[in-house]
Amino acid sequence: MEPYFFLSYARRRGPRVLVKRFYDDLCAELRQELRRLRKGKPVPFDRPFLDVQSIQIGQDWNAALGDALGHCRTMLALYTPDYFRSDFCGREWKAFEDRQRSHRELAGVDAKALIPVLWEPVQSIPAGAAHIQYDNLEFGENYAQWGLRRILVADPGGEEYRRIVNLLARQILVAAEHFRIPAAEGLDITAPESAGPFPSATQRAEPGSHALLLVAARTSGTAHHQRSTDPGCHGESPTDWNPYHTESPEPLARRASQLLEERGFTVRTDVVSDVLGATLDEARGQGQVAVLLVEARAAADEPYGSALRAYDRSNHPGSAAIVPCGPDEAGDGPQSKPYWEAVRSVLPLNWAKGAGDPLPLLQSGISSDEFDGALHAVVAKVQNHLFSFLETIKLDSLERSRITSTSLPVLSTVAVARPEPNGPARPQPARPSSDPLPLEQEQDR
């Protein structure tokens, strides 16, 4: 089988219903174009590849992906910010682009079979994908500004959406029918040599980097008596907490862990306890970045309240806190005021420090669409702070060692220095301070 296209997309961002709708619409449009091409004659149609539909339960998913990537005629890449942060999307990209490059070297012509779709706006395309043109005047200004996902949401059966889907179907048809890029057998996209061109090196963590996720949230047992609580948010453990459950089935801690693992981190998840300060100190000493995932309604409850207030009073380089926010809490409704009061009452100092900071280390009011970007941004900032802090500690330790190892003269008497007649006063040696100067890194929160 040679699927007409392989749909490559970032799988961990919200519900997949819109991706599935686009896939179905594109398949239907492609069939129509094939009938027109064959003048109504029956057309054999190799079903395009979509992971959640094409891989069966119990099937070896790596083998299925490798087979589809090695034999599909074209590949559609749904551009989103998460797409270019995903290691697996980068591997899919590389596998197909290698096949397309082989065809270009053999035939001397570009099949244009790697077809980008601007699903969501992307601030910057990484260098590994920048050579592929992804916008065209035919798609219109709304597509360039907002992406196809928003056009689909605004008017699923509208003329603009259907026109863009038709343009994509025609491009697939041209590449699939007029060019047959060489197949690749036995692809293993999990192999080290299969790593793709993104995430970029600057977005990847250093080898051996570790991250600690600490969750402060209620369980279904402690939250059920509060009528304002959505029962789908909680589970048996605080780590089951999912404030975005209407959009994604994954608990927040698991979603955060997967995002960081894609960037090369080794991740450990735990629950906030009364020894939070010691836990953060230990993580800092081991060079680990730490992110607190805090449920606003649970923040003031024990055992979290005292631990979080102590965290707020202390300065822990290498840590940040994210307080997710539901749609009803973000607006002006009755849920929003208690949410913001809870955040300010438990973390007042971090709240104040974040005023005017374009990237505060207390990220509050974070919606589902904002969470992934906020996590990546604060982890990068926290990692820089941690590296600076540890480097300063290292240099300070070396300086202390140098001072104490130098043999200083022992003075039997203490004399007051007096100026020479008609001459300047003799310079006095500076007295070494027993306490290091305050660290700028520790004040930058």
User: Tens digits of per-residue pLDDT, 227-258?
Assistant: 455 667 899 999 999 999 888 889 999 999 99
Same domain (yes/no): 160, 226: no
Q: Are 374 and 255 in contact (CB under 8 A)?
A: no
Same domain (yes/no): 365, 294: yes
Q: Is the pLDDT of residue 397 over 90?
A: no
Mean pLDDT, residues 277-301 taken together: 89
pLDDT of residue 88: 84
Same domain (yes/no): 267, 366: yes
Same domain (yes/no): 40, 174: yes
3-class state of residue 277 by DSSP: helix
Same domain (yes/no): 314, 272: yes
Same domain (yes/no): 270, 344: yes
Mean pLDDT, residues 369-377 taken together: 89
Gap between the Cα atoms of 149 and 164, Å rounded = 11
Could you tell me where the beta strands, DSSP code E, fall in 61-177? 75-79, 114-118
Same domain (yes/no): 129, 220: no
Same domain (yes/no): 187, 214: no
Could you tell me where the beta strands, DSSP code E, fall in 277-386? 288-294, 319-324, 362-366
Among candidate residues 75, 15, 105, the one with its CA nearest the CA of residue 196: 75
The sign of the torsion formed by the CA atoms of 200, 205, 207, 212 equals: negative
Please check whether residue 429 lies inside any domain of the structure: no
Same domain (yes/no): 32, 69: yes
Which of 11-15, 35-39, 55-59, 353-357 reaches the highest mean pLDDT?
A: 35-39
Please check whether residue 184 lies inside any domain of the structure: yes
- What is the average pLDDT value for the chain, to the nearest integer? 81
Please check whether residue 161 lies inside any domain of the structure: yes
How confident is the model over 64-123, as pLDDT tens digits?
889 999 999 999 999 998 888 788 889 999 999 999 999 999 999 999 999 999 999 998
Enter the tokens of residue 350: 């971090």
How confident is the model over 15-47, as pLDDT tens digits?
578 999 999 999 999 999 888 887 766 666 668
Gap between the Cα atoms of 296 and 348, Å rounded = 13
**CATH number of residue 283's parent domain:** 3.40.50
pLDDT of residue 87: 80
Mean pLDDT, residues 363-384 taken together: 88
pLDDT over 90 for what percent of the chain?
A: 42
pLDDT of residue 52: 67
pLDDT of residue 56: 65
Please check whether residue 273 lies inside any domain of the structure: yes
Q: Is the pLDDT of residue 160 over 90?
A: yes
What global pTM score does this model have?
A: 0.55
Same domain (yes/no): 306, 350: yes
Please check whether residue 399 lies inside any domain of the structure: no
Please check whether residue 202 lies inside any domain of the structure: no
Domain of residue 69: give its range: 6-194
pLDDT of residue 152: 95
- Counting the structural domains of the chain, the total is 2
Same domain (yes/no): 97, 34: yes
Same domain (yes/no): 243, 184: no
Gap between the Cα atoms of 168 and 323, Å rounded = 40
Q: Is the pLDDT of residue 286 over 90?
A: no
